A and B are shown apart, each in its own frame.
Chain A
Amino acid sequence: MKSKSKKKKIVVSIWDNKRFVVGFTLLMVFIVLGFIISNFSPYDPRSWGTVPEELPPSLKHPLGTTSLGRDVFWFLAEGIKNSLMIGLVAAIVGGAVGVTVGITAGFSGGVIDRILMAITDTFIAVPSLPILILLAFLFKGRASIMVLGLIISIFSWAWPARQVRAMALSLRERDYISMAFFSGEKPYKILFFEIFPHVIPWTIANFINAILVAIGQEATLAVLGLSALEEATLGTGIYWAMQYQAIFRGLWWWIASPVVAMIILFVSLFLTSKGLQEHLASRRS
């Protein structure tokens, strides 16, 4: 024991992790673009005919304009904001429900565990896309950003719930949890001070992943015309470009902008999450 405590603690900074630095920097660009710059749009990016149609990129319209008379840049900025919002809502709701269900199932065991896991497994097993399509269909493309996020979160809690339950099961076996119980520590305190610290690193990584998946799902729905078509999102950006055959008509800036933005956003989220996971793993050992 003595020799262990004497081992030098090497302080590893998260900024030494290249993946994280690259991913996070890119992500910050998106966040600034979506949440700050988008507010300075000279016109409502959603309304039609505010700018001349089908102009290629220029100084005035950095990413060109569309056949609908929208400015691609400002539409994209607004779209990034909304897509991130959908991702956040789905990740927060899904994560919170997932962690709660997982911890409850893992720690109560018995019947409660079995019922909760049966439900969870159902949600994992059924293919999510057809059901999402069905649900979105009910809104006929008129869902608000918030509602879209909630619809997507219906499927984003199940996997985290399983994972957290597995963690809870192994934590439950740990002596220091039993020790806390026999010391009369209140259950909520055990939860917050003994268990959460172990689940949090994983939760953060999972949270970013959930954002990524939700943004992707929204885009899928949008391409099918089932998303919030009135709103600007990365998905609806692609939808309108496809509706007006932007590719065949040589309006490459219209279709390329949301697609490239989406790819870069995915990569940045992926790198951030991966880097974080690596960092937390190295810190734990």
Chain B
Amino acid sequence: MQSSGKLLELKNVSKIFKIGGLILGTELRAVDNVSLSIDSEKPVIVSIVGESGSGKTTLARMILRLIEPSEGQILLNNRDITQLKKADELLEYRKIVQPIFQNPFAAFNNLRRVSSYLYDTAYSICGAKSKEEANKMIAEVLEAVGLSFEKVVGRYPKQFSGGELQRVSVARALMPRPKLLIADEPVSMVDASIRMNIMNLFKTLKDDYNVSCLYITHDLSTAYYVSDFIAIMFRGNIIEYGPSDLVLTQPLHPYTELLMSSIPRVDKKWQEDIKLSGIEVKEYESTGCKFALRCPYTKDICKKSRPKVIKTNDGREVMCFKYEGKKYEEE
């Protein structure tokens, strides 16, 4: 695999948190040996799906340079992002990568006008020279997200609904014409009835503005709706990756199967009951497959050693002993 032509590339990235005191504390691998890449040729939306605590936010924060990986490398256009130190490099970085946060009310300072963020971005990142120029940029992105300049400028966060404010944050992120948006659960705080408006926005950004997006969520239905590729995370690992059509219609990994069957669909009712576990902590510490304690297909080997990532011939990757040495070739 050559490494050119990649917008973003994660190479065996891990993040280890020390929890508890220095002496008695333990380590938690919140992100465990994750590799993932996004091509720079054609914009794509890649979803990262997983239950809470699976390491999604930690992964996003590493890509956003808010925390450093403990192991592995994160490359943006083939440059290690932890090496970016100079002001102009950081500026360049922010022109390429922009974040969208989960709770818009926590992302905007309550005491500041929402538009002040838009002006900051216009002047500092997009290099606007005059107020007119900045206004023009702002009006344009606001229009792209379906808001009007007059409705936004001069108002404070609390004067918006959650959905509107999240659209403002998408508009702001869009201003530098970034190549990559990192959106961490951008719709989990907004009502189901208006989620689709924001999801459609990501589609539009991809099609009309060539913006790729890393969409982090625990909601499989919206992930299916917008994304080209899906990575399923479980306890720090990506346990299945592939085109979203394949992953979500013919899941390979037993955990993906469980996720799929748990969606409250509106076309098919649940049949048999599922069992919930009380063993979450143990799963992190397991040296075998972290899902082995709950998996219906567990074999002896699953509890003993960690499965490898297996590449299938339909372009998927799965981390499960079920597929080891079978019809799929291992790399």
Contacts and interface: CB of A to CB of B under 8 A. Distances in A.
Interface of A: 1-2, 4-5, 172, 174-176, 178-186, 193-194, 197
Given A5-B158, A175-B103, A194 B109 contact: yes
A175 B94 contact: no
Interface of B: 64, 66, 91, 94, 98-99, 101-103, 105-109, 111-112, 117, 120-121, 123-125, 158-159, 161-162, 169, 172-173
A183 B117 contact: yes
B215 to A, nearest CB: 17
Contacts of B112: 193
Contacts of B162: 1
**Chain A contact surface mostly:** helix
B120 A183 contact: yes
Nearest to B98: A182
Contacts of B99: 178-179, 182
Nearest to B110: A176
B102 to A, nearest CB: 8
A186 B91 CA distance: 11
Contacts of B64: 178, 182
Q: Which 4 A-B pairs have the closest CB atoms?
A: A184-B124, A184-B125, A183-B120, A175-B107
Contact of A175 (B98, B106, B117, B161): B106
Nearest to A174: B106
Nearest to A189: B120
12 contacts: A175-B103, A176-B108, A178-B64, A179-B101, A179-B117, A180-B117, A180-B120, A182-B64, A183-B117, A183-B120, A183-B124, A183-B125
B120 A185 contact: yes
A183 B121 contact: yes
Contacts of A182: 64, 94, 98-99, 121, 173
Interface centre among B103, B106, B107, B162 (most CB of A within 10 A): B107
A172 B61 CA distance: 12
Contacts of A172: 66
Contacts of A197: 111
Nearest to A181: B94
A183 B107 contact: no
